[in-house]
Amino acid sequence: MKSAGFCPTFHKLEGYFSSRKFITLRCRPKRSSDGKITAVIPRQHLLALTGPELVSFIGELGEPAFRARQVFAALHHRRLRSFEEMTDLPKELRAKLDSVATPSTLNIESRYLSADGTRRYLMKTHDGLPVETVFIPEERRDTICFSSQSGCPLQCSFCLTAQLGLLRSLTPGEIVEQVIVALNDAYGVGQKPQHGTNLVGMGAGEPFLAFESLMKALSIIADPNGLHIVPNRVTVSTAGIVPRIRELATVSERPHLAVSLGAPTDEQRNVLMPINRKWPLAELLGACKEFERSLKRGERFTFEYVMLRDVNDSDEHARQLANLLNRHELRVKVNLIPHNAAEPLPYHPSSRGRVESFKSILEAKGLPAFVRRPRGQDIFAACGQLAARREANPAQV
């Protein structure tokens, strides 16, 4: 008798995962002709497949290409997260798909609603790790801030996510799924967004340490038969992974780039953003110059500078920053981000007057500077605050 879907690998790991409740990426057994299990294959997360990959996957199940197109539209255009909802597919096909694949793997654990309308979603991966996504409504355009890793290995001292350490990088499917979850919640399943949607890769994790996942996810998200959010509407922020900045400079279809500086000297940056010890400012700004040279019309490239009261926000810091960027001939826009305080981080945001003074020094030295308004601070959704916090009162899921 065949054992019904028993997966030895899963059961071996069950003890390890016992404190982690959500396991949806079931395995399927591969059997020999006499019914014995010869291997265990995890179910395929369909959101991780590009259109052509989905055609091959469905083709291997003996189904024609038009079925793959139907499934792709159901996943990415109608944003359905279960096979049962795909009622335009024959029942047998849905059952067949369910035995080898899954349309969704993220479980929404809680949803938090800020007084300013921002929403934060705390989700769990199939292996029980936290993933956070933020939806920021704006008058003309909404922004979805997605995570590229669960936790983060970089130890930026002003960031709450750093305290989680790296749990793992997210898969392309998990990145795509975050966008689907946020759009469905904001507009209703499959409903057309009322505004355009921008994406920012500024959630948990260092996107350039999940580079392959990121780039594949962005190509799936850009598909005109699906979500159709093109790279030109996406901005990705890095703490300074120099080889990936250089690599991005060679890519033609790419997101906009933001580089987080945090300090104007190596001495201070080594402390605030320890990645600087690997790639110091001269090397980072050299790569940024290379990227700037590769910019095409309409592309954006910005620096970000988190402002920490009495730490990196003096007039002298502003002059050092302006001189540094001018020395590298980088006339790039600088976004000033007042720090979002959160226990137990030891920092406080700079005062409004300090931020304005810092901004005018940059401008006087020829650098366009803007102040970013924090959003969703009250629900731990603002920049640097994503650390799977549960204190805020969750709104209804």
Q: 256 near 234, Cβ under 8 Å? A: yes
Neighbour tally for 164: CB within 10 Å: 20
Vertex 185: Cα angle to 168 and 135 (nearest 5): 60
**Closest approach of Cβ 171 to ligand SF4, in Å?**
18
Helices (H), the chain: 8-14, 51-60, 65-72, 91-100, 172-187, 211-221, 242-248, 266-272, 281-293, 315-327, 352-364
In whole angstroms, what is the distance from residue 4 CA to residue 24 CA?
17
Residues at the interface with ligand SF4 (CB under 6 A): 152, 154, 156, 159, 161-162, 204-206, 239, 384
In the block, residue with structure tokens 């001495």: 267
* Residue with smaller CB distance to ligand SF4, 163 or 250: 163
In whole angstroms, what is the distance from residue 43 CA to residue 152 CA?
27
* Residue with smaller CB distance to ligand SF4, 44 or 149: 149
**Closest approach of Cβ 385 to ligand SF4, in Å?**
10
> 301: burial class by Cβ within 10 Å (0-12, 13-18, 19+)?
middle
* Residue with smaller CB distance to ligand SF4, 205 or 264: 205
> 156: burial class by Cβ within 10 Å (0-12, 13-18, 19+)?
buried
Letter for the amino acid at 33? S
Q: Is 7 considered catalytic here?
A: no
In whole angstroms, what is the distance from residue 380 CA to residue 384 CA?
9
**Closest approach of Cβ 315 to ligand SF4, in Å?**
25
In whole angstroms, what is the distance from residue 208 CA to residue 251 CA?
14
**352, two tokens:** 């409004």
* Residue with smaller CB distance to ligand SF4, 67 or 269: 269
Q: Is 132 considered catalytic here?
A: yes
* Residue with smaller CB distance to ligand SF4, 159 or 234: 159
Q: Which of 168, 170, 140, 166 is nearest to 153 (CA)?
A: 166
In the block, residue with structure tokens 């901005």: 235
* Residue with smaller CB distance to ligand SF4, 27 or 152: 152
**Closest approach of Cβ 373 to ligand SF4, in Å?**
18
**Closest approach of Cβ 151 to ligand SF4, in Å?**
8
Catalytic hit among 7, 156, 159, 383: 383
Q: 383 near 374, Cβ under 8 Å? A: yes
Q: Which residues pair with 121 in a beta bridge?
A: 111, 133
* Residue with smaller CB distance to ligand SF4, 161 or 276: 161
**Closest approach of Cβ 158 to ligand SF4, in Å?**
7
Cα distance between the two ends of the chain: 42
Catalytic hit among 63, 109, 132, 177: 132
**Closest approach of Cβ 162 to ligand SF4, in Å?**
4
- Catalytic residues, by residue number, are 132, 383
